[in-house]
Amino acid sequence: MNPALKRDGYSVAALRRMAQKRLPRPIFDFIDGGAEDEDTVRQNESAFQGWDVLPKPLNGAAQRDLSATIFGQALRSPLLIGPTGLAGLFWPQGEIASAKAAAAQGTVYCLSHGSVCTMEQLAQSHTGLKWMQVFIYKDRAFTRELATRAHDSGYDALVLTIDNQMIGKRERDLVNGFTIPPRFDLPQMLAFAQKPGWWWSMRHELAKITFGNYVQSNTPESVAALAARMGALLDPGMSWQDVDMLRAHWKGRLILKGVLHPHEASEALQHGIDAIIVSNHGGRQLNGAMASARALPAIVQAVNGAVPVLLDGGVRRGSDVFKALALGATAVLLGRPHLWGLSVAGQEGVEWVLDLLNVELDRVMGLAGAKNIQAIRDGDYLRPKSYSGPHASP
């Protein structure tokens, strides 16, 4: 076991600090930062503080079962790993390391469209549950092509992300001169040289950093050209007709990610969507967007159990997971936390994050009196901070 994890990795916040020490500032800020003033980033985390847990210890939860099910697939717990671009920039073969960690922990790994490896490469090394992220592109044929490749590679579900139709203004990246892809100019190289541990582990990898799923073997492009093509493909004019197009093309599970409005959640049911991910892209797109946890209850009410509802954004503690489940979520996705673990110790670091949050969730369940995940959803365990009813203190 990595001794630093055992000594210092006692919380997700601690792992964030460890990642900050190991990574060059431009790379760390790429993970950590959000759009403009980063209000939504902060709100995603603080939103969970808007609810108090009302324990019922006499329920007798001596044994707790954290297992969850989605699409009939049994998971060790309701913690999944969400799509995060360029994970291979934080650790060698970062996407593959993260996917192996997810498989070892009995959960789902969702590959980002902007991964360093290709979806085929990940599928060859990862036999566990895997989902693939796609967008609606101006070139609709390319959207269908990615879906076909995901099908041929054995992905279990397609995650259509709808809140990345334009790139958010990420000011930390502007200050650092960080671009997608990274420029390896003198200022960047000086920043990299200040973190010799990361530099040494990545010394053979940096030249390989690319957007694997966009590389065309018949027309080789530089990484900069790939990034420009990716940006040009994004389409703010996408509509429900495009969702219908993808639904007709993709016969597997289709998940809609980036939903915050309950009307959009209701509409999704009319277009054959199999699950909804309540998300604001980790606060990296629209600064001022509603926090995911605040948006969750209305989305759950809108779909009324017709499809699973997952939460993405701001989960930092097992108590956050508990609250999300109590608010009706089927499961939660991890973004930044798994990247912090990856940055510190690769696959072992990602497994550590999952273990850490599962242990915290188990403890909250024991203290609250919840024997299993369904009991959390059914147990009436939450009250808003402003609650002044019969359970309030005098």
Interatomic CA distance for residues 54 and 382, integer angstroms: 6
- The residue whose two tokens read 């027309």 is 219
Residue 154's closest CA among 106, 219, 105, 99?
99
- Residue 123: what are its φ and ψ, rounded to 5°? -60, -35
Active site residue 281: yes
Interatomic CA distance for residues 101 and 334, integer angstroms: 13
Pairing, β 51-53 against β 275-278: unpaired
Tell me how long the chain is.
394
Q: Token digits for 216? A: 């065309």
DSSP secondary structure letters along 193-256: HT-HHHHHHHTTTGGG---GGG--TTS---HHHHHHHHHHHB-TT--HHHHHHHHHH--SEEEE
Catalytic residue among 113, 126, 281, 338: 281
Helix pair 12-22, 25-32: axis angle to 10 deg? 150
87 near 116, Cβ under 8 Å? Answer: yes
Residues 6+ apart with CB under 8 A from 141: none
**Which amino acid, residue 148?**
T
Cis status, amide bond into 181, omega within 30 of 0: yes
Interatomic CA distance for residues 216 and 212, integer angstroms: 9
- The residue whose two tokens read 């936390």 is 337
Which of the residues are catalytic?
281
